[in-house]
Amino acid sequence: MKLGEGVEAAIHCAATLASVEGNSTMPGAALAESFGLSPSYLLKHLNMLTAARILESVPGPAGGYRLARAAERITLLDIVLAVEGREPAFRCGEIRRNGPVKLDASAYVKPCGINAAMLKAEAAYRAALAETKLSDIVATYAAEGDPRSLAASCAFVERHQRPQKPNPTTKV
Amino acid sequence: MKLGEGVEAAIHCAATLASVEGNSTMPGAALAESFGLSPSYLLKHLNMLTAARILESVPGPAGGYRLARAAERITLLDIVLAVEGREPAFRCGEIRRNGPVKLDASAYVKPCGINAAMLKAEAAYRAALAETKLSDIVATYAAEGDPRSLAASCAFVERHQRPQKPNPTTKV
DNA sequence: TTATCGTGGATAGATTTTATCTGCAATAGG
DNA sequence: CCTATTGCAGATAAAATCTATCCACGATAA
């Protein structure tokens, strides 16, 4: 069981974008630089977040990314599912049917108990992720993070964020 | 996020071995046949279970595998960790340090909040897995499974299990 | 018009997963 | 002792996935 590195990048980027003021945006290249990531590859993950309506993107110069809704309404589960996909980690192959004795399909109408137990555990995992909001991450960082790190992040955001024209159609 | 297919195979095999009487064993080839799996590959997973002291193996003709302890004392978590490894699914790459501004390491003594949140969710996952015992799986199967499937499984175990000499050193 | 930005597709290298085979050690039974 | 069966370790390789890069394209602010 393993999560791709994109999850870590996506959460960090989303947390950074939560610090961007108003409807300003931040270019993907700046986000990549902010965490020492490959820009081309990070865009793939940011794209996943955009497709999942977690981020909004603005093309053109002075464009970039911003949160699609308030950080209070974005959970870690939203981000993880957007990047890793919505399929459960445990996929039942129904190998119980593959024995030497072939039974009628009616013998397997009841769901596999092993699958049920695994999915139940995964539901607990997702519930825990759903409990943590992006705003919690940011708040914890602001409250407990090192002041130097905090100052550096704020300066970086300040330097790279770009104000947008008020746009009625995309306005929150 | 994905679990290997070996997990499903391992749990099914362990559940099957829970039905073996006394200290009898069942060969890996029989277990593979029981679920239509590749024998060579299944042995790899069974080996993981043996290394984790979940199964015991007996070499030689009339040898095979059996549970190393009672099914009541084996949880799904034991099996999942044995097969998939004990490392957490989310691995923090500390990308927060990789920005353009290099800070002293002392700025990062506090653990990354994102990592903490992800590991907390994973702890919930593991706790849920730890709550389910192998004996629960078997009991549910016996109580709710289709009688035909149940009968076929029992017959298969009956046919392939092999009694062992009483061995004081390995005795439970 | 130009330069900047996001999007999508093609591509390729690295890593992991899945699977097979072989030789080896252990051992029950003759 | 001999043989057949079984588990074990290692090499190997095919397949899938993850990571990473590049380029052509459309959008748009200045």
Task: Give the mean pLDDT of chain B.
Answer: 94
Task: Give A42 CA → D21 C1' in Å.
Answer: 12
CB–CB of A133/A74 below 8 Å? Answer: yes
A58: which strand partners?
A64
- Alpha-carbon distance of B168 to B144, in angstroms, equals 37
Q: What is the pLDDT of residues B8-22, one digit of tens each?
A: 999 999 999 999 998
Nearest chain A residue to B90 by CA distance is: A3
Q: Which of residues 42-71 of A touch strand D (CB under 7 A)?
A: 44, 59-63
Task: Give A55 CA → D30 C1' in Å.
Answer: 26
Place of tokens 């960082």: A141
- Using a CB-CB distance cutoff of 8 angstroms, which residues of chain B are in contact with residue A36? 95, 98-99
Cross-chain CB nearest to A3 (options B1, B5, B35): B1
Question: How many other C-beta atoms are found inside a 10 Å radius of the C-beta of residue B170?
Answer: 12
Angle, helix A76-84 to helix A39-51, in steps of 10 degrees:
110
CB contact under 8 A, B8 and A110: no
Residue nearest to nucleotide C3 (CA to C1'): A61
Q: Which residues touch strand C (CB under 7 A)?
A: A 2, 25, 27-29, 40, 43, 46-47, 50-51, 57-65; B 4-6, 37-41, 44, 59-63, 165
What pLDDT was estimated at residue A171?
36
Place of tokens 């945006």: A25
> Tens digit of pLDDT per residue, chain A (172 long)?
899 999 999 999 999 999 999 899 999 999 999 999 999 999 999 999 999 999 999 999 999 999 999 999 999 999 999 999 999 999 999 999 998 988 998 999 999 999 999 999 999 999 999 999 999 999 999 999 999 999 999 999 999 999 987 654 443 3
Cross-chain CB nearest to B121 (options A5, A100, A125): A125
CB contact under 8 A, A96 and B149: yes
In 3D space, the residue among A121, A127, A84 whose CA is nearest the CA of residue B7 turns out to be: A121
Q: What's the CATH architecture for B5-89+133-160?
A: Orthogonal Bundle (1.10)
CA dihedral (A25, A31, A32, A37) positive or negative: negative
* pLDDT surpassing 80 at residue B154: yes
Q: What is the pLDDT of residues B63-73, one digit of tens each?
A: 999 999 999 99
Q: Which DSSP category does A64 fall into? A: E
Angle, helix A76-84 to helix A113-131, in steps of 10 degrees:
130
Single-letter code of the amino acid located at B165: K
What pLDDT was estimated at residue A43?
98
CB–CB of B60/B164 below 8 Å? Answer: no
| Domain spans in chain A, listed from the N-terminal domain onward | 5-88+133-160
Cross-chain CB nearest to A98 (options B35, B80, B153): B35
Domain spanning A5-88+133-160: CATH 3.30.420.40: no
B162: which strand partners?
B25
